[in-house]
Amino acid sequence: MSTFAISPEQVSEYDRNGFLLFKGFFDPAEVAELRNAFMQQAEHGPVPNLSDTIPNLSPDDPLSRYPRMLHPHRHHELPVGALSLRYLLDTRLETILRALFEDDPIAAQTMFYFKPPGARGQALHQDNFYLRVKPGTCIGAWLAIDDATPENGGLVIVPQSHRLEILCPTSADITRSFVTDQVLVPEEFTELPLHLNAGDMLFFHGNLIHGSYPNESQTKFRRAFICHYIPRQSLEASHWFDPFFTFQGTQISVHEAEGGGPCGTVQTRNEAWKG
């Protein structure tokens, strides 16, 4: 198992840009363990109560066969359950997150994206629009399970956009995005497509604009295992993420966020995202 420390310079880099990349954060055996477990779980198609199936989806849409899986760490009855919880609470993540939050990190969510060849992307968005953490924000930890490039729909970020407040979404192009909301990038910011190798981990601020475009590859999946965390000082968050976990494995609750957030009722429109 590799170990990672974080320097004051790296914390400053995160504060400046809104993201921080660690190359080879998980080793090839660990990445293969996650990849194999989730592919076996999806062997017979979507899993009830785990797979985020999209209503009225055409059978020839790649996401009808491989929809993302939400909160697998809650499913102790499934092989991916204990595995997801173990990686969600990995002490290597705790070390980095504590430095970035300047607080004890609390685990909120796991997700697994398959993104097979031909699959649509996820329109640009800000995670804390959905998690609704106050005070502060969430941090995403995005692990590349496959090499992720613009060809197969790799991650796109907007550096320094974490300095923005939560922006109210507009309607996305659903021929290119499987979610219906998108955030428009202000003209003073620029999108940055990332090239990540399997095992690389990107930590990013909850207000950072990010997303992905369709997988244009004919043969390559772009799988990713994604976790979200909040600072211990958080007073409220969306109810979709309760219960939360300390890194000691203790379940805790956070007060449910009230109202519709800065964008009103639109914030609850796309409930299928749940994070």
Q: What is the pLDDT of residues 147-190, one digit of tens each?
A: 999 999 999 999 999 999 999 999 999 999 999 999 999 999 99
Q: How confident is the model at residue 268 (pLDDT cuts 50, 70, 90)?
A: very low
Q: Which of 26, 78, 14 is nearest to 224 (CA)?
A: 26
- Average pLDDT in the chain: 94
Helix (H) or strand (E) holding 28: helix 28-41
**pLDDT(274) > 50:** no
Which 3 state secondary structure label does DSSP give 135? coil
Q: Which of 140, 115, 112 is nearest to 50 (CA)?
A: 112
Per-residue pLDDT tens over the stretch 117-157: 999 999 999 999 999 999 999 999 999 999 999 999 999 99
Domains of the chain by range and CATH? Answer: 18-268 (2.60.120.620)
Q: What is the mean pLDDT of residues 58-84?
A: 96
Per-residue pLDDT tens over the stretch 35-64: 999 999 999 999 999 999 998 899 999 999
Residue 92 burial class via C-beta count within 10 angstroms: exposed 0-12, middle 13-18, buried 19 and up = middle
Strands annotated E in 89-132: 105-113
Q: How distant, in Å, are the alpha carbons of 24, 27, 86, 88, 248 from that of 1?
A: 11, 7, 14, 15, 19
